[in-house]
Chain A
Amino acid sequence: MPEPGGRAVSSPLAAAGAEPTLDRISAPGRAAWSLPPLDVPAADLDLPESSAALPPLPELSERDLVAHFTRLASRNFAVDIGAYPLGSCTMKYNPKVADWAAEHPGFRDLHPSLPAELSQGALEVLLDTEAILCELTGMARATFQPPAGAAGELTGLLIMRAYHEAAGHPRRAIVIPDSAHGTNPASVTLAGYEAVHIPSNDRGMVDLAALRETMSAEVAGLMLTNPNTLGLFEEDICAIAAAVHEVDGLVYYDGANLNAILGVARPGDMGFDIVHSNLHKTFATPHGGGGPGSGPVAVVERLARFLPGPIPVRLPDGTAGWEVPDNSIGRVHGHQGNFLVVLRALAYMRALGGAGLRRVAERAVLNARYLEHLLAGAYDIPFPVPCMHEFVASAAAIKRATGVRAMDIAKSLLDLGFHAPTVYFPLIVDEALMIEPTETESPETVEALAAAMLDIAARAATEPDSVKGAPHRTPIGRPDDAAAARHPVLTWAMGD
């Protein structure tokens, strides 16, 4: 059997000594920059609001600059180094052909104000991606303005509000399950709504009876992730959507977990009206250390007139152009969102095609179900329902027996060459470890990850202090977060 890949031996992260910040390696008079001399006659401009002094930036040679950022890179884990089973984040492999696309000068160097006649290729990218997204989700039209998932949520909620306002009354509340991502309630507040939380039942799913009780003419809609944040498919989804529609509410699909159902089931067929997709999760665009993402929002036909304008459209003459929908909620981004991220996603979607996209869901679920199977016994699996692309395990029993917590297990995994799973989320599971292996890890890697987690569970019993002290082999140990918050040092000037 092949050896497992996907495990980072610690050497790429071994850089033990701290790298000084740029201000510490700056020397007055050094410079990396060069520019040609000014080739027009210099005018004596005497502009108002001119600065008397140069800004206090560091001064470096290019060689030092390169060494500095290369050493920083060496102190960072990444998908390209090893497996990254971070639940809810879908840290799959990011194909290099998409990097090539995003660096293509014919896209990368386009100014956003180019008129449609000079940017037909960019418009075609948006239209093609829209068509694929709409087919995958069962929606009719989409906007690419939202630059991330949370922005997509806000956009979706503003569309809900516009829909209800058009019917005479914006309504007051948005219903969200207690297992929702934190961005859901935060977006609800920004959209001027009140979040109403409903509990999960003992199967980890929306409690249908409780949901029905919250329904009223003041409910603007429901936000739901499906599979939910426990990695479970909401089995009552059609009844849930029907209950919301009964009061003329709208049903919003948080696309965080779309990876699980590509080509298998569609939000539109389940009764969802608005769907955001995280291109940086499901469609393999790299997460960039925290962004850029892309959170396009797709809607059913009757909501298309509210989309943020302008949106790309096919014109009667066959060319592509821009159009502001009749009842547009207005802009939610300065331009067309994170266009190059959309382009990367298109490269991925086109490479996989319909068959490949369905295979993604099958293998994502296969890997997760297999890993869950390998860990059951050592870790509690709180809900008796087959998982989809991820699952939540609980370290509650381990904690009771040994004092070792979910966070300690996560930190120990870092020592063993894997990234940690998501911990303490969703909030409804005690000592939660949310694990998403993704479809791009091989079975050998999944087995090595399972072996590492089983090893940690065993060591929790025999040498709990070692596990609680982890990580031991990373560039730094656990940071003092309390001190960081008590005395914030957010710039090097504050530290002096």
Chain B
Amino acid sequence: MDFTPHTDADVERMLATLGVADPAGLFGHLPAEVLLDHPLDLPQPMAELEVMRYLDGLAGLNRSGLVCFAGGGVYDHFLPPVVRALTLRPEFVTSYTPYQAEVAQGVLQALFEYQSMIAAITGLPVANASLYDGATAGLEAVNLAVAATGRRVVWVSRALHPHTREVIATLAHTRDLAVVEHPVVGGRTAWAPDAEGPPALVVLGQPNYLGVIEDYGAAATVARSTGALLAASVDPMLLGVLRSPGEAGCDIAFGEGQPLGNPMSFGGPVLGVFATTEALLRRMPGRLVGRTTDEAGRAAFTLTLRTREQDIRRERASSNICTNQTLNAIGAAVHLAWLGPGGLAEAGRQSIQKAHYLAGRLARVKGVRAANPAPFAREFAILTPVEPAEVVSAMGERGYLAGIPLSGDYPELPGGLLVAVTEQRTRDELDGYTAALEEVIADA
């Protein structure tokens, strides 16, 4: 099947108007050496029902339906049906970037509301209309700080998400930036103020990748004393419970926005959250929606401060981003509006309470211990006597996605497994997880 409406008669009539003999004739002016002289080796067309059966079959090869204890930025929160119902309105789904504001007020206003609510939860005055994901948002924070300070060194916590550090490293190599990693001691970053500098940016995770709540004050002191900007990678679902990065003195807050309004999606599409101060606004990467009026004085929304962007500024743009994650940002806006202040706080509080309950239960499992003593929020690292990849595999057979093995990214934590909890996990699931892990360790 295809989705072109032309009948044979349509094609004949249009070709005749153009004086072209057949469809191949439309390409008659291409150099002969580039024209394919054979059909490509591609699958046969499928009817819609066949496509659905085929993909259903592939989905069946995934072990779906596991009770999820994996996090690392992507969490299994409760996503109310109303969020999907509104986000998936075809007017949002099938429109382009709102360059024609007169017929795009819906998307523009939804993005303005997204920006407003991200600013509200991060405690910073301005947020953009989304970036690709948490990791690339971290890279944009680095780019912004390097441009703003003229410095070429960046200090990152070793407990910042390993994938964020990897994405930063990919570009740091190209741009000849030095990335100095500060060690983790007992779960928290031990900033070394005499490291190579001065840094453009100090970056921490809050909570960090190991789930630990960092000391904002320590990071802020280091940033202040070196004249660096301060950025925190935050878990937006915890911002009803934890101090906002703005209040804590950060110049930039970024993070993986998936917990707001988006399914886990095998990691994409998700969205990068990015907020900053008014002082840094003109260096903000990505699109911004502003409120203005139209000629008749009516409230109107429009893309603004466009001179930062690639289609205007070209090689001097603040970022190369064009297409972003608008639909995911609309999902985040609908979800935040559904949660409100009370719901955001309660989802965060329950996630944290349940994580602590589980951590307490797991501490009593023979051979398991906490990876570090520091206070954590909704995620924590345990050390198991069994190779974590084997734990994940064996727990999978018992119906649980046990967590994320840490030993690849943190060889200093042999047996490390990162366990995440959301408000969706029931006491039965937490107890079931504990019993299953006990069994897996006993069997090993």
Contact = CB atoms under 8 A, between A and B. Distances in A.
Contact of A189 (B44, B315, B347): B315
A79 B269 CA distance: 21
B213 interface: yes
A51 B241 CA distance: 5
Given A79-B95, A269-B34, A488-B290, A347 B70 contact: no
Contacts of B68: 111
B58 A121 contact: yes
B130 to A, nearest CB: 7
Given A49-B216, A49-B248, A31 B46 contact: no
A51 to B, nearest CB: 5
Contacts of B423: 35
Contact of B133 (A86, A147, A269): A147
A237 B31 contact: yes
A115 B127 contact: no
Contacts of A329: 170
A195 to B, nearest CB: 5
B310 A365 contact: no
Contacts of A367: 14
A437 to B, nearest CB: 12
Contacts of A79: 94-95
B263 A292 contact: no
Interface string B115-134: 11101110101110110111
B321 A335 contact: no
A476 B298 CA distance: 7
B268 A338 contact: yes
Contact of B294 (A48, A269, A477, A494): A477
B29 A353 contact: no
Contacts of A489: 290-292
A72 interface: yes
Contact of B322 (A86, A183, A352, A483): A183
B51 to A, nearest CB: 5
Contacts of B20: 369
Interface string B99-118: 01111111101111101110
Interface string B243-278: 110011000000010000001111111100000000
A301 interface: no
Contact of B110 (A42, A72, A100, A360): A72
B62 A122 contact: yes
Contacts of B88: 99
A485 B106 contact: no
Contacts of B410: none
A409 B352 CA distance: 56
Contact of A182 (B247, B310, B354): B310
Contacts of A484: 290-292, 302, 304
B364 interface: no
B293 A104 contact: no
B126 A491 contact: yes
Nearest to B112: A21
A30 B342 CA distance: 10
A105 interface: yes
Interface stretch (A62-70, A209-217, A458-466): A62-70
Interface residues of B, number: 210
Contact of A148 (B54, B248, B324): B324
A115 B167 contact: no
Given A119-B266, A354-B39, A485-B290, A31 B96 contact: no
B443 interface: no
A340 B305 CA distance: 31
Interface string A92-131: 1111010111011111111111110111111011001000
Contact of B31 (A190, A235, A330): A235
A485 B305 contact: yes
A365 B26 contact: yes
A47 B240 contact: no
B334 interface: yes
B353 A38 contact: yes
Contacts of A359: 2, 4
A31 B338 CA distance: 7
Interface string B161-176: 1011011011101111
Contacts of A332: 136, 167, 170
B330 interface: yes
A292 B328 contact: yes
B95 A77 contact: yes
A491 B278 CA distance: 12
A185 interface: yes
Contact of B91 (A65, A76, A136, A269): A76
Interface in B1-60: 1-6, 10-11, 13-15, 17-18, 20, 23-24, 26-27, 29-31, 33-36, 39-48, 51-52, 54-56, 58-60
A366 B12 CA distance: 11
Contacts of A21: 109, 112-113, 116
B86 interface: yes
B356 A48 contact: no
A191 B62 contact: no
Interface in A50-95: 50-51, 54-60, 62, 65-66, 68-70, 72-81, 84, 86, 89, 91-95
B66 to A, nearest CB: 7
Interface string A338-366: 11110100110111111111111011011
A385 interface: yes
A54 B240 contact: yes
Contacts of B264: 108-112
B44 A476 contact: no
Given A58-B340, A108-B263, A475 B23 contact: no
Q: Top 7 nearest A-B pairs by Cβ distance?
A: A335-B267, A106-B59, A112-B267, A33-B343, A288-B327, A76-B106, A354-B42
Given A21-B112, A182-B310, A338-B269, 8 more contacts: A74-B106, A75-B109, A109-B263, A151-B136, A189-B317, A289-B327, A293-B323, A480-B292
11 contacts: A40-B357, A54-B240, A95-B3, A114-B66, A181-B311, A263-B36, A263-B39, A289-B111, A330-B169, A366-B11, A478-B102
